[in-house]
Amino acid sequence: MAITIRPATAADVGEILRFIKALALYERGLEQVTATEEGLLRDGFGPQPFYECLIAELDGKPAGFALYFYNYSTWKGQPGIYLEDLFVEPELRGLGIGKALLERVAGVAIKKGCRRLQWQVLDWNTPAIDFYVAMGGEFMNEWRTVRMDDEALERLARGDAGERADENANGALAGDAESGS
């Protein structure tokens, strides 16, 4: 069985979306997926791509993917890669496909001068946690993920974050917005 890892092309957006939905189903969040092929095409293969993607194939058939984008560590003064999604078809796990994808992303990071690769994993996903630890990943339990979506993001952009933000800001801005700088 031959594993091939290749950069995704615009022709792969349907497969990328299928992988995203399969991962969301596994992570118990399929109903939250609003991504479309049109959006993936625009955002990954347009004039200013926001992400890059690798497709894993086993014997010429799609088997998994890794979708990532670049970030920057202000403390290190160096770029890094954030791995948004890593997925291998459930029936193909254990064949080295996930390892091959992660190794390729690490190779991209080194080639581009990135000194960090980071990602998140759900706390109940013990097979993935065990895999990441075996690959040399280290967990940063002292850091918490902060996210702002949709309405909250729009309110903040308008300056309507609310009085609670002003009340809680005393000393809060001493915190670092960069996870694990």
- As annotated, the active-site residues are 132
* Pairing outcome for strands 117-118 and 78-88: parallel
> Please, is 26 exposed, middle or buried when counting C-beta atoms within 10 Å of its C-beta (0-12, 13-18, 19+)?
middle
Helix (H, G, I), strand (E, B) or coil at 177: coil
Query: Who's near 91: CB < 8 A, 6+ residues apart?
Result: none
Cα distances (Å, whole numbers) of residue 165 to 41, 90, 149, 154, 161: 37, 43, 16, 15, 6
Rounded to the nearest 10 degrees, how much is the dihedral formed by the CA atoms of 43, 47, 52, 54?
Answer: 100
As given in the structure block, the two tokens for residue 161 are 């974050």
Which residue from 84, 105, 45, 12 is spatially nearest to 97, judged by alpha carbons? Answer: 105
